[in-house]
Amino acid sequence: MPNLMDTNLVIASGSEKVQDFLREMFIKRGANVVLCGFMNLDFVHQLERNVIADVILIDMDDAYEEDEAALDYLLDKVDLPILFHENTFNEINDLTNECGFSLQEIEKLAIKLAELSSSKKNNTLVETKSDTSIPAGGESVNRVLEHDSKECLANKKTIERAAANLEELFISSDCDVKDVPEEAINVWVLGASIGGPEAVKRFLARIPAELPVSFVLAQHLGDGFISLLANQLNSISQFKVKEGVAGDILRHGEVVIVPVNDHMVLDSKGKIKFIEEDWAGYYKPSIDSVIDDVTAYYQKQSGVIIFSGMGADGVLACQKFSEEYEGKVWAQSSDTCVISSMPDSVRKADLVSYSGSPEALALKIAVQYMGKDSYIV
């Protein structure tokens, strides 16, 4: 039996029954359950202020629908290892208890929690089965671009380490940025959900200012967080990041963030407008809808990158984009995601032509439009 002795564990689930069951199971294995409850902003604030913890376990089957904004806030503000769990059992059977967990599944979770807790206490990183290190500056571009992934524990520090190793790859730009960039010819949709803000930060931090591309960011996020996200991205990006405004056109050197509650589309002249229809589906904004709209206007001059997230938003539109325009669809590699369900879903549909870390995706798109000698040492 895995030993969780002296491990301060936080548990979040959208089901009281699952909360009680997981608390009991991990206390039996030696853990101190210091906080257990529903995933919402009050829960996260309590964790920030009053709780000394080593590792967090989040039951995604129910907690994800509880409060997605709280999850994004947790990932941004709380510096602890996090293990996300998606229950692989769809129904109760002889191998599972009434909560749908098998003993084997609990044992695996306990092992992973012990590893993450140990890594936090020793200030070391939990390594995956495969070598997922990013080449340091000066190594060949091809090795960076070919870097991909298998599986990784959702340790926040693990998914941040690539940024430090790629600092030397870009030459700092001394070019003056035009007050009014040229109207966009090339437009890429960035689709993201849980873990997306951090992934997009890493991606945009490596995008050179002179890249002739406009980005449209469709990020699942709670209402009221868009301005905060724009400010955070502006602080690290050479592109101008702003919220979508009616009447604006897309321009190179800019990132337009799609509002959560306002259904943003492009009119016949490529100008942003808002329509009264609700977003289709459960998620806001709908990544499928944004991809459909942008790629219908820009066609083969457009592309799509799917970053970290839960669910399958974006798959249907990527399928249509691929069939109608032979469009490029890229995705964040699984091991660099907080939750890889969304990029994995487009990969399983055989729509992705390239997968990589956020930094590798930035290199890939810069090479496509500028050539490697333009910005790589």
Q: What is the pLDDT, as a whole number, of residue 175?
A: 41
Name the residue ranges covered by the structural domains of the chain.
Answer: 8-121, 171-374
φ, ψ dihedrals at 271, nearest 5°:
-85, 145
Q: Report how far apart, in Å, the C-alpha atoms of 136 and of each of 105, 150, 164, 337 are.
A: 37, 20, 9, 20
Place of tokens 């995008």: 207
Count of other CB atoms within 10 angstroms of residue 52? 9
Most confident range (mean pLDDT) of 117-126, 155-164, 271-280, 300-309 is 300-309
Place of tokens 């496509």: 368
φ, ψ dihedrals at 21, nearest 5°:
-65, -50
Q: What is the pLDDT, as a whole number, of residue 291?
A: 97
Query: Which tokens in the block code for residue 376?
Result: 């790589």
Q: List pLDDT tens digits, range 193-246.
A: 999 999 999 999 999 999 999 999 999 987 778 888 999 999 999 999 999 999
Nearest-angstrom CA–CA distance, 82 and 59: 11
Q: Which amino acid appears at position 30 of this protein?
A: G
Query: Which tokens in the block code for residue 161?
Result: 């380490």
83, 113 contact by CB (below 8 A): yes
Q: What is the pLDDT, as a whole number, of residue 94?
A: 43
Helices 68-77 and 41-50: crossing angle in degrees, nearest 10, is 20
Query: Which tokens in the block code for residue 54?
Result: 């080593």
Q: What is the pLDDT, as a whole number, of residue 183?
A: 93
> Are the folds of 8-121 and 171-374 the same?
yes
Q: What is the pLDDT, as a whole number, of residue 134?
A: 37
Q: Report how far apart, in Å, the C-alpha atoms of 29 and of each of 10, 32, 91, 176, 295 are.
A: 14, 9, 26, 59, 52
Nearest-angstrom CA–CA distance, 219 and 241: 13
Asked whether the bond before 358 is cis by omega within 30 degrees of 0, the reply is no
Q: Quickly name the fold that domain 8-121 has.
A: Rossmann fold (3.40.50)
In the chain, % of residues over pLDDT 90: 51
Between 60-74, 230-244, 254-268, the lowest mean confidence (pLDDT) is in 60-74
Residue 1, burial from CB neighbour count under 10 angstroms (0-12, 13-18, 19+): exposed
Q: List pLDDT tens digits, range 293-322.
A: 999 999 999 999 999 998 899 999 999 999
Nearest-angstrom CA–CA distance, 268 and 262: 19
Nearest-angstrom CA–CA distance, 36 and 89: 22
Query: Which tokens in the block code for residue 174?
Result: 């001394």
Q: Quickly name the fold that domain 171-374 has.
A: Rossmann fold (3.40.50)
pTM over 0.75: no
Q: Report how far apart, in Å, the C-alpha atoms of 256 and of each of 184, 203, 213, 344 are.
A: 12, 15, 12, 25
